Amino acid sequence: MRDVAIIGIGLTKFGERWEHGMRELMAEAGVKAITDANIGSKDVEIVYGSTMASGRFVGQEHMAALLADQLGFKNIPAVRIENACASGGSALRQGYMAVASGMHNIVVVGGVEKMTDVTTSEATTALGGAGDQEWELSQGITFPGLYALMAKRHMYEYGTTEEQLASVAVKNHENATKNEYAQFRKPITIQDVLNSKMVAEPLKVFDCSPISDGAAVVVLAPLEIAKKYNDTPIKIVASEQASDTLGLSERQSLTEIKATKISALNAYKNAGVKPSDIDVVEVHDCFTIAEILAMEDLGFYEKGKAAKAIFDGETRLNSKLSVNTSGGLKGCGHPVGATGIKQAVEITMQLRGEAKGRQVNGAEIGMTHNVGGSGATAVVHIMKRVN
């Protein structure tokens, strides 16, 4: 197996991008990544494209071929990866394996979603497909409802409060104010969160990530030749994925995501690092409770301890551990097919020292954590700066 590096990154602004279609968003992020990697279109050997529901959102299936076409990659393989909200992380893992195996040298991995061309009801229905359609969605549960069940159980078992949930949103919005690509660049308070409209008790509007448009692209290459293209390659030192039951009712516990725990343990082992070695992490905060669960399941805090730690400020920028410096899904936005790739872009910027206004001091090791559905899929990557 060869060592793999990220040699190029590209990102669009996330948000309600009424003025751009899906192909324009893909092209914008793709051109930035190719330029950053100092490659030509003829250098690319395969493309992996991630999107969860492009057919439902914009009527466009066969997205990977469109991505290759828009970026001028003629006649090379193009593969779409769909794994619910973990589509981006899963696509990155496929690209990683393609390079690590020796099958391909230059690989482009892109994620995109154009979600605002349909009504909120239609978007909610499309996103609901990430859960168990027959036994959950058709019975009336919504996606916020599934995470609300997790939140209520966490509150019951560990005394987690609504104020502690709200502190996740406050921290991530604060980080988003420093990110030019973020959807929401306005700070909020705990009281703002508590006063926002109830969605599924105890989760309110400001506890939930938004419907977003956006795209993100990375370029991968073998580490041994990476500096031929870029002076600051970022090595992917671990890429792990695990799964669990699709339906929440079949889980052993409502207060953990087992797929995250398994992926994280394997990633730490393969990277030769511990949770305490991580300087910056992008976790999947589709709802505020999701970040609390992630911080515990990734091994940063004992079960039941993360909510208080976040409330006390331990995960703010340049505190004990910098978490969701991009603003996360909550502040930066959540175009579902792009999110896992955006996380990798953010960590690459942090490890390069290029995250202007939100730079983590001395960041050398970073992590991404991308979840599909209510936890049926989890993908974890650990990345390291190359000295």
Catalytic residues: 85, 334
| Structure token digits, residue 20 | 């751009």
Beta bridge partners of 378: 242, 371
CA dihedral 384, 381, 17, 212 (to 10 degrees): -140
| Structure token digits, residue 223 | 């580490």
| Alpha helices in the chain, H assignment, sequence order | 22-37, 54-58, 63-70, 87-100, 120-128, 143-158, 162-176, 190-195, 223-226, 258-271, 288-297, 306-311, 328-332, 336-352
Task: Please give the backbone phi and psi of residue 372, each rounded to the nearest 5 degrees, phi first.
Answer: -105, 130
Instruction: Specify the long-range contacts of residues 35-38, CB closer than 8 Å, at least 24 apart.
Output: 35/8, 35/10, 36/7, 36/8, 36/9, 36/10, 36/219, 36/230, 37/7, 37/8, 37/219, 37/221, 37/229, 37/230, 38/7, 38/8, 38/229, 38/230
For residue 22, what are the CA distances in angstroms to 31, 90, 108, 315, 336? Answer: 14, 20, 17, 34, 13
CA distance 68 to 48: 9
